[in-house]
Amino acid sequence: MANLKELRGRIKSVASIAQITRAMEMVASMKLRKVQAKAQSFHPYVDEIRHMIEALAGKVGGEGDVPLFRTRDVQTVGFFVVASDRGLCGSYNSNLLFGLKKVADALQAEGKKVKFWVYGRKAYAWLTRRGFTVERFFVEPPLDKADFTAAKLVGQALVDAFTTGVVDEVRLYYTRFQSMIKFVPTDAPFLPIRTIAVGEAKQPQKSFELDFLIEPDATTVFNRLMPRYLETVVFDAMLQSLTSEHASRRMAMKGATDAAVRMQKGLKKVYNRARQENITKELLDIVGGASAVS
């Protein structure tokens, strides 16, 4: 009898878990749509910036005199890591962080130092637990509300660290959103700048008028353009990670909901069988009692 009551309780709790995970799934898909819309409206900006850099690159003589392009003997490597603030998103964080650990361990084995700039509470907790030094942990604005200002902040921090010699190389470690079901942890070089790459490369659009006026002069414009470019790269990494996070959470929550529903069905069967057994037993008792009396 106690068994029946217990089963009823379990069915109830599984049902309410299914309800919660279903709600989380829906929230995640909504957020996913939002982030994707954000990424969509960010595209024109990226295209323009890249366009201008490509146009200017040929006009600026000798890239060696721009500090952000100068390669140095690498002793300290800085990583900018983007993970999530919250859990329950499948293997999103662990995939990223285990990959990162491998890279960091390899670097340390070579005698290089690693430093971290982190977005996302999960990454921060993970790294500090393993004894890595986190140079800076960005909390404001929270990743969910991250806008271009956040990317600007990060970009400036990274450029500062690079130019003041705190680190000799900066890399981005984030999750690239490949499709709704595929998220790839990515290790991308950031500083010094080697190649200009942001967003997807697309077919060359309309012809470019090569001969154009530049005011005040190419170097000035280029030097102003460079930080903007770096910020777009950071923002792109953040958006990619956010998209992956929400897609990953949606998938995980869908899996959890399905599992809960399956479990609920199984429990219901067990419950019904137990109930039937009880009834049969009671009937037998009554029949047995009646036949004993007569």
Partner 1 sequence: MAAELHLRIVTPDRTIVDRKVAGVSFQGVDGSYGILPQHAPLMTAISNTGTATITELDGKSSELFVSDGFAQVQHNVLTLVCEAGEFAHEIDLERVKAAEAKAREKMAGLDRLSAEFLKAEASLRKALAREMLARRGSGSGTLG
Q: Which two tokens stand for residue 99?
A: 């990959």
Q: Which two tokens stand for residue 269?
A: 């069967």
The least distance separating partner 1 from the CB of residue 220, rounded to whole angstroms, comes to: 7
Give the x/- contact pattern for partner 1 in 139-178, rule: CB under 8 A. Answer: --------xx---x--------------------------
> Quick one: DSSP state of residue 255?
H
Q: Which two tokens stand for residue 204?
A: 């060359």
Of positions 103, 166, 221, 274, contacts partner 1 by CB under 8 A: 221
The least distance separating partner 1 from the CB of residue 105, rounded to whole angstroms, comes to: 36
Closer to partner 1 by CB, 41 or 291: give it.
41
Contact call for residues 89 and 98 (beta carbons, < 8 A): no
Give the x/- contact pattern for partner 1 in 178-207, rule: CB under 8 A. Answer: ----------------------------x-
Q: Is 216 in the site for partner 1 (CB under 8 A)?
A: yes
Of positions 91, 108, 178, 220, contacts partner 1 by CB under 8 A: 220
DSSP strand pairing (76-82 vs 182-191): unpaired
Of positions 179, 211, 290, 294, contacts partner 1 by CB under 8 A: 211
Q: At what angle do helices 218-293 and 92-109 cross, to 10 degrees?
A: 130
b/e code 192-221 from CB counts within 10 Å (16+ = b): bbeeeebbeeeeeeeeeeeeeeeeeebbeb
**Which helix (H) or strand (E) segment is 209 a member of?**
none
The least distance separating partner 1 from the CB of residue 144, rounded to whole angstroms, comes to: 16
Distance of alpha carbon 19 from alpha carbon 17, whole angstroms: 5
Q: How many residues bind partner 1 (CB under 8 A)?
A: 30
Contact call for residues 247 and 180 (beta carbons, < 8 A): yes
Positions in 75-134 near partner 1 (CB under 8 A): none
Q: Which stretch binds partner 1 (CB under 8 A): 28-36, 90-98, 208-216, 248-256?
A: 208-216
Of positions 208, 266, 272, 285, contacts partner 1 by CB under 8 A: 208
Give the x/- contact pattern for partner 1 in 26-45, rule: CB under 8 A. Answer: ------------x--xx-xx
Of positions 8, 20, 26, 48, contacts partner 1 by CB under 8 A: 48
Distance of alpha carbon 124 from alpha carbon 142, whole angstroms: 14
Closer to partner 1 by CB, 164 or 294: give it.
164
> Quick one: DSSP state of residue 69?
G
Cis peptide before 216 (omega within 30 of 0): yes
**Which helix (H) or strand (E) segment is 177 a member of?**
strand 169-179
Q: Which amino acid is at 173?
A: Y
| Footprint of partner 1 (CB under 8 A) | 38, 41-42, 44-45, 48-49, 51-52, 55-56, 147-148, 152, 206, 208-209, 211-216, 220-221, 224-225, 228, 232, 235
